[in-house]
Amino acid sequence: MTLSSSSHLPAVVVSESALAKFPGERIGGLHRSSFRRAPTGEAVFSGIAPADILLAIVEARAERDALEKHFADLGKEPLAVLVAPSREEALERIGEALAARVEAAVGDPGGLIVLRCDPPGDATGAIVHDAPFELVVPLEVDASGLAAIAVHVAGEGLAAEDGLEAAFVDARNQTLGAWRIPARAIPASLEWLTLDFAASLAEPPGQASLALRGNIGAGGKILISRALGKDPAARLFAARAPRLAASPFWLWPGADGRPVVAASRLDDASWRGARLVGRAVEEAAPAGGKRLRIEAGRAGLLVFADVDLAQSAAVTARVCSESAEPVEVALALIPTSECGDELKKLQQAAFAWSAPQRATRDGVALSVVLPPDAPGVAHVALSFRHLGAGGARPAVLSCADIWLAPRRLRKPAFVRDGAARFDKVRLDGIFANETYRHIDVSMTALSKEGRMWPKLKFKVYEEREQIGLEFRNGPAFPTMFSTWPGTAADAYGDYFKVRGTEAFDRVVADLARENDRLLLVALKEALPALVEKLRETDQLDADNAKDWLERVERFAAPQAEAPTVQDEGRADAIRAGDDDAGRSSSMQEQPSEAEKAAAPDDDAQSQDAALKSEDAALPSGGSQAMSRQ
């Protein structure tokens, strides 16, 4: 069900003389409103004039003049008007205007900037869900610094235990963000709600996806706006500088399975125990903060000793200058073996530094990312240096915010253990002779473990009593693989085949990209349901369907023995020397012993119960704590 979004999105105004070019109630996904030029020269609307208009389309200059006068008399800003455009030109201009409006709307005080994405993430309508659901939004993110994702949502009649869960999964199938929004935090009308990452992402996540799950009881509804096509609308934001954000909706499974806030502030004991090294004077400051007076030309460190960094990916601080004198500040991480009072020695011993910045009255954000081999415990130090020459006035710095971000997340149960699903399947062809047969199929929205492939086309074939999959590469075929794995070609172009139950797992393990490994696993798992769907929709007759089903069920069944390689047309394309070549066929990352000890119970029902009990732990006024665009 699609709702009108005219109250949430701008409209396009079209003169009656131009309606023949733009039939229907919508144009470019936006509501269309019409007007005519009266004999008196006035613009007369067919209904109530929209309050928010993106642009107007007319056939004659006189109509443009009438429309411009109409809005000038109302004291409104001049309107963009297209005169006698072609349909293609009009749609292109609408897309450009929408993109410009999205960019102009971003003015986040935390330093967020919008990232362009394809397809555009602006909302063009809303889908109503009145029962539990799962959705996957495919995203291509080639920019670093991703700090937040916004979704356009609303809730109606939700019970206290209802809510929305989200997880962001990158191209390597790692969960980089997970959130739960309780019912009380979901707005009553459609709004952009921004889900902050605990720490902005240093590396581009690549072919990523946003998995959404709605928990809805009887009588409840969750509305999610969609973008062009069927995908839910999503906006992506990067931070102008590395930052941490403490969202009350962030999930971090603890040892007891209960979600807790991941980004944590340095505790009061650390602030009380901080010591000064170098030339500075500590002045009176509120509890849980520090205020330093620094003479011209002097430098020093404020050292927080023995900070537990075992679960941290980054440390971020915010430092303010209370004076106009120039002071350079930075964050440093120092081994615990260094405990002396020699400033230079401590500076040289630091194993990680943030980029130095000038402190300002509004405050600057400092962020240091932990290297992979960082120790579990280290000293965190705020470095400062007065840049003024002799005789300059002292500078005063204040700092009350130092935060730790988590190293990594486990997948929520609904992403980690999700079975392969697909939307539709179409039989494009069928062939059989005495030694070979195949079905040629197209599939939409195949998803597994938080990843989705919007369009797929492939053959399921049987040769010498072995089931196989065949893929083609070319302009007539959808792109499914991140890296094309085949090297063989025939008169019809490039192809890639994998045949035989024993060969499949080894082929999967040898693929270079996690996205491609998961694709083959999802297809193999979905084959029985695919055949059933073809039978249910009368695309395969009962006898054919029964015969195919018996064979693909044997092919899809897990294998107890180690597989052997038997792959057609693939050898050179598989990067056998890649670090991943020796990994097991399991799609899950193997946790360390420490992670196993801290892992929540994998039973989906117990984790769901823990998630639902989280409301009591969330601070009140949660919807205000979530950023809104």
pTM reported for the whole predicted model: 0.45
Burial class (CB in 10 A: 0-12, 13-18, 19+), 222: buried
What is the average pLDDT across 240-247?
58
DSSP letter string, 483-543? S----EEETTEEEEEEE-HHHHHHHHHH-S-HHHHHHHHHHHHHHHHHHHHHHHTTSS-HH
Is residue 440 pLDDT above 90, yes or no?
A: yes
CA distance linking residue 546 with residue 215, whole number of Å? 36
Is residue 38 pLDDT above 50, yes or no?
A: yes
Task: Find the DSSP H helices in 257-410.
Answer: 268-273, 343-349
Of all residues in the chain, the percent with pLDDT exceeding 70 is 74
What does the pLDDT read at residue 221? 93
- Helix, coil or strand: residue 15: strand
Are residues 19 and 110 in contact, defined by beta-carbon separation less than 8 angstroms? no
Of all residues in the chain, the percent with pLDDT exceeding 90 is 23
Name which residue leads in pLDDT, 7 or 299: 299
Q: For residue 467, which of 532, 553, 575 has the smallest C-alpha distance?
A: 553
What does the pLDDT read at residue 54? 83
Among 102-116, 385-399, 401-415, the range scoring the smallest mean pLDDT is: 102-116
Is residue 43 pLDDT above 60, yes or no?
A: yes
Average pLDDT of the chain? Answer: 75
What is the average pLDDT across 533-546?
92
Taking CA 97 as the corner, what is the angle to CA 139 and CA 121, rounded to the nearest 5 degrees?
15
Q: pLDDT tens-digit profile of 161-205?
A: 899 988 888 776 777 788 888 888 898 888 888 888 766 776 777
Confidence of residue 98 (pLDDT cuts 50, 70, 90): low
The 3 state secondary structure assigned to 535-565 is HHCCCCCHHHHHHHHHHHHHHHCCCCCCCCC
Q: pLDDT tens-digit profile of 99-140?
A: 565 444 433 444 566 665 444 445 556 788 889 988 888 887
- What domains, with CATH codes, occur in the chain? 2-103 (3.40.50), 106-262+602-629 (2.60.120), 264-406 (2.60.120.260), 418-582 (no CATH)
Is residue 368 pLDDT above 70, yes or no?
A: yes
Are residues 224 and 126 in contact, defined by beta-carbon separation less than 8 angstroms? yes
Q: 26 pairs with which residues across the strands?
A: 31
Name which residue leads in pLDDT, 589 or 498: 498
Q: pLDDT tens-digit profile of 595-615?
A: 333 333 333 333 333 333 333
CA distance linking residue 326 with residue 188, whole number of Å? 48
Among 42-46, 136-140, 165-169, 254-258, the range scoring the smallest mean pLDDT is: 254-258
Q: For residue 261, which of 607, 619, 602, 597 has the smallest C-alpha distance?
A: 619
Are residues 11 and 133 in contact, defined by beta-carbon separation less than 8 angstroms? no
Q: pLDDT tens-digit profile of 504-519?
A: 888 888 887 777 888 8
What is the average pLDDT across 58-64?
92
What does the pLDDT read at residue 49? 75
